[in-house]
Structure 1
Amino acid sequence: MKRDFGWLALLLALLLLAAALRFHRLDAQSLWYDEGITAAHSARSLPELVPLLQVNVHTPAYFLLLAGWTDVAGDSELALRLPSALFSLLSVAFAYSLGARLYGRLAGWAAAALVALNSFSIFYAQEARMYAMLAAIAGFSMCLFIQLLRGRGRRGRTVVAFGLVNALGIYTQIVFALVMLGQALTVGWWLLRARPPSSSPPTSQGEAKSPPARTVWQILVDYGLANCLAVLLFLPWLPHSLQQVFSRPNRAQVLPPDEVLQVIAGHFAFGSNYALDMGLAWLVFGCLLLAGALPLGASRGGWRWLLLLAWLGISVVAYVALELTTRYLRFLLPAQLAFALLLGRGLWILWPQRLSRLLAMLALAAALLTMLAGLDSFYQHSDFQRDDMRGLVRGIAAVLRPDDGVIFSAPGLVDLLNYYYRSDAPTYALPSSRDDDEATRSQVADIIQRHERLHVIFYGEREQDPRQVVEDTLNRQAYEISDRWVGDLRYLQYASPTDLREPVTADWQFGDEITLHDYALNATALAGGEHLLARLTWSARQSLATRYKVALQLLDGAGILVAQRDSQPVGGAAPTIGWQAGELIVDQHGLMVPPGLPAGEYRLILSLYAAADPFARLLVDDADHVVLSEITVSQARS
């Protein structure tokens, strides 16, 4: 009794720690692109939501659940992410239950601890998506699978529960089929051996000696009935899933398979921040994993070992074979439970002998302490922060003017933008079609004419606008005045064309290759916060092998830099390596005069430098720049 109470106390302490780690800073970060889609789906009624989900690559269970949840809890960032945190907590509990059923409470507690402290698990516990739910359902399914095999509980209820949970798993995310495939492989192994599993947990030396509870054929019938139920329940949605899965473009990985396996192992063993904090922990995890992967007692107890290897191996092999990018590691979250259980099995194997027990305890303690110490970098390091759309939208709202407009790429960005955006400036989702480039150019040109300034947010534009028609049109017909990255979000500002002053003939020779024929400015007297626009006309004497950047700089009377704008010609749409000899390149640039800049006289200078080396400037008459104009700056207008 005391021993049972001790294990219960340890489990409760671990669950409290896991909860604290998952609820810590749960709403500190902005929602990102995928979470914006989740927020929009949760706000829709059922008749609106179902047709949208039928053309979504994700199956509907999570979104339907969250729609009901937000009706009660609201749609704040905390409310949207709370279900994921709770599902992740269930994953910790299921890891303990599975480990205890397979190899005893010590193995269960070790596996649960390795899930509880894993930052890969914590990351998706703090995301309003279905992946934490997927992992929890996978753990629940495996618990019922083991119960069905052993014949524990009421047979009919177990069969129905197992079938319903597997159906829920597929309705949560189609990759749950990999979990079911691992179960099928285990059942198939029994059929080949014609030996049912024991109804008792094994000892550390092999399978327990108690007689089998059921025959192989009884197991097969129950397993078949349960999965027939799951498949029948999923049949109505199967055509939609197949259509979406096979219509998706190939997202080939950029890493070779050996590096991909290292990334997967790091996430499974340590978490998302493994590259920063692993150190010698690889050795510790490697020892436990090696012990856990050994087929001890395979002649009688191998089904437990095979179940974990099949669950883990099938998921990893599928991931590598499909050449998915690291973005899709989230599909492997259920397999992280199998990895933790294999480590728990390693502890169970090393436990009987005094020396190996001591080594196992030290290895587990070192692993857990290393994971715990690494969580500070996980919570604070910029590599693990989601794209700050919240901060970006607030920044845009703070500088919006009555004649401004907002353009964004990717259909899902409209959902995320609408979650945070509370301004009156019009918003435009572009491109409206991936196939009609002329229509897109016309739309962009029309928007440029409507607004004095445009705020543009690009995300995944290579997928939405593979020929970059939107950006190319903006670069050729407007003046780019700023360009910066916010995580994976790219934020640009453009000023619309305005009347320019008379062009000034220059004929300046930059180096031996490039000539600036003339330039025109919009003004030589501006107020703080206004835009200085320049149109430059270039040509090259011959084809160029170097990418050059154009630098516009505003200097005060003492020659101190107060504003600067660097860009490749035409915003990168006409790089110098693509110039043909004698071809005239019309290049538009913008520079914002800082709002708080003191009134006075300033100089606008221009230079050209190699993109790979900012100090390698092309000389003009023995100088590294030319002066375009004196600029008079007045106080910013209120």
Structure 2
Amino acid sequence: MAVPAVAALALGLWGIDRQNSMWRDESVTYQVAHRSLGDLWGLLGHIDAVHGLYYLLMHAVFAVWDGGLVTLRLPSTVATALAAAGVGAIGTRLADRRTGLLAGLVFALLPVTQQYAQEGRSYALVTAGVTWATYLFLRAMDADRRAWWVAYAGTLGLACWLHEFAVLALVAHALTLWRLRPSGRVWRRWGIASAAVLVCLLPLVVVSAGQAEQQLGWLGRPSLAMWAQFVLLAGVGLLFCRFLPGRSGDTDSGDALSGDGTTLKSLALPILVAPAGLLMTGSLVKPWYVDRYVIYGMTGLALLAGAVLSRTIGQRHRLTLPARVLTACLLAGASVAVLLPWSLLIRSPESRKDDVVAVAHTVEKVTRPGDAVLFMPARRREWLLSYPSVYDRLKDLALAESPAASRTLQGTELPAGTIRRHILAADRVIALTDPAGQPLDPFAQEAVKREVLREHFVVCSRTPVRGAQVVVYARAGHCAD
């Protein structure tokens, strides 16, 4: 569907540089994509194998054109346009062109869609892959031809290699089949395709499982707010289903796809609810849930919303002409009032957890020749690695091996005793820390940084930056140097 794709592309390109702000995860992508293939391969053996295919793709993109933030985010913008077109194609196949058009536009206008369309991470690409795999799933059910099942398995397998939690889409598709009750032949072919996806994904699962604690160890169990958000979205999806027609009984096994709304509901609601619900439930035992890991579930919400809007428009003949005009104006005004503030917010630095650009500029302003730097905790080294012109002017007192040399994301740090000696030999130290009130890492290296600075230095200045603090420490009497 061309119109939703164009709309998503236009919204993604609008403010793609986000006022030259970059947050930490994007900074990681930017740094890793600029490494050599040998360094990148070595890194993936230690950490971030789950993002390996995406990093390789971005490495190739930057090799063709290094346009900074635009290059970093453009693949996500294009992928979002493809996902919007896929949502439109699914809606058209299951209902009509109007439903497809409206569903694609709803998807493009969702604030969360616009957010990840302008983020240099893999999640928009995963959404595009799952969306088109779902379209191919429908075609395979309808035609039951081997070529469609092969295309379905290949597309979903690619999405899983971009992020392995895309595999949860298989559960949603299984629920769709269970609800529609197609022939046993369809079940068998879907089973073979699913097995092919799982076998293809197995090497990535084996490698990433060994990295899981380091990769996801920072996560906690889903909060009450997360559960409330999930229940709200599921409730909205169920409410939309109530407004749509559809037989309450089984569909004809000889015709898996019905045009009365049954198939659309049977497809959209599971994709909205199942991946997020499974990941959240599993996170009660082992915390692995982050909403962006299953953001492709928003395609289900868009399909249901588009179908409801299409049905509402189809019943407009029940209203008089003035009532139609008034209703259209009220709906348009309400949509602008709700969506425009969100669209403006996600295009501002305030929508980010931190701002790497602002951190680098602040460090550049407060730095004097001969200054040293400490990252507290060490993983905050990511804030300056994208700005070597700033980082290279400072002596990193804790660094043992650089990220490239150690084939890690943040580099490795010296033992606590060595860090102590280096700090005591310095006169001025620029400390990059988390905002006040954040939990402190208990590791020996982090403890010794805090201890020596507290006992032997004074605070010359403390500059809050979004998601960070830049604190200048100096020996007594050296603040003005």
The TM-score normalised by the length of structure 1 is 0.62
Contact 1:55 1:244 in 2 (8 A): yes
| Match of residue 340, structure 1, among 302, 327, 331 | 302
Which of the numbers 487, 490, 498 marks the counterpart of 2:466? 487
Q: 1:419 to 1:352 in 2, by over 3 A?
A: closer
User: Is the partner of 2:15 in helix, strand or coil?
Assistant: coil
Is contact 2:399-2:414 (8 Å) kept?
no
The 2-side partners of 1:224 and 1:392 are apart by: 50
Report the count of equivalent residues.
443
Higher RCO, 1 vs 2 (CA within 8 Å, ≥6 residues apart): 2
Where 1:481 maps in the other structure, the secondary structure is: strand
2: CA distance between counterparts of 1:224 and 1:254?
Answer: 31
1:182 aligns with 2:150: no
Q: Distance in 2 between matches of 1:179 and 1:298?
A: 24
User: Structure 2: how far apart are the matches of 1:130 and 1:19?
Assistant: 17
| Counterpart in the other structure of 2:219 | 251
RMSD: 3.4
The answer as to whether partners of 2:123 and 2:295 remain within 8 angstroms in 1 is yes
Which structure is higher in helix share? Answer: 2
| Structure-to-structure mapping, 1:148-547, within 5 angstroms | 148-151=140-143, 155-190=145-180, 193=181, 196=182, 216-245=183-212, 248-249=216-217, 251-253=219-221, 255-256=223-224, 259-264=225-230, 290-293=239-242, 296-299=246-249, 300=251, 301=258, 302-321=262-281, 322=283, 328-354=290-316, 365=332, 368-375=335-342, 377-379=344-346, 383-385=350-352, 387-410=354-377, 412-423=379-390, 424-428=393-397, 441-459=416-434, 462=439, 465=442, 468-469=446-447, 470-496=449-475, 498=476, 522=477, 531=479
Contact 1:134 1:173 in 2 (8 A): yes
Q: Measured at CA, do residues 250 and 101 of structure 1 come closer, stay the same or move farther in structure 2, by a change above 3 Å? A: same
Task: Determine helix, strand or coil for the equivalent of 2:138.
Answer: helix
Structure 1 residue 334, shift from structure 2 partner: 0.3
Stretches of structure 2 that go unaligned for 5 or more consecutive residues are: 252-257, 402-412
Determine the structure 1 residue equivalent to 2:21. 30
2:32 paired residue number: 41
**AA paired with 1:311?**
I
Report how far residue 412 of structure 1 moved: 4.9
Q: For residues 411 and 175 of structure 1, do their structure 2 counterparts lie closer, same or farther at Cα, with a shift above 3 Å needed?
A: farther
Distance 2:450 2:103 in 1: 49
1:52 aligns with 2:31: no
Verify: 1:143 aligned to 2:135, yes or no: yes
The AA in structure 2 aligned to 1:249 is: G
* Distance of 1:429 and 1:332 partners within structure 2: 37
Corresponding letter in the other structure for 2:272: L
Structure 1 residues 117 and 341: alpha-carbon distance in aligned structure 2, compared to 1, 3 A threshold: same
CA distance in 2, matches of 1:320, 1:327: 6
Q: Report the structure number with the largest CA radius of gyration.
A: 1
How far apart are the structure 1 equivalents of 2:334 and 2:227? Answer: 20
Structure 1: gaps spanning 5 or more residues: 1-7, 197-215, 270-284, 433-437, 499-521, 523-529, 532-592, 594-636
Offset of residue 49 of structure 1: 1.5
Say which SS state the counterpart of residue 157 (structure 1) adopts. Answer: helix
Matched, 1:64 2:56: yes
Q: 1:362 to 1:140 in 2, by over 3 A?
A: farther
Structure 1 residues 379 and 325: CA distance shift in structure 2, 3 A: farther
| 3-state SS of paired residue (2:290) | helix
Task: State which of 66, 78, 84 in structure 2 corresponds to 1:86.
Answer: 78
1:225 Cα deviation after fit: 2.5
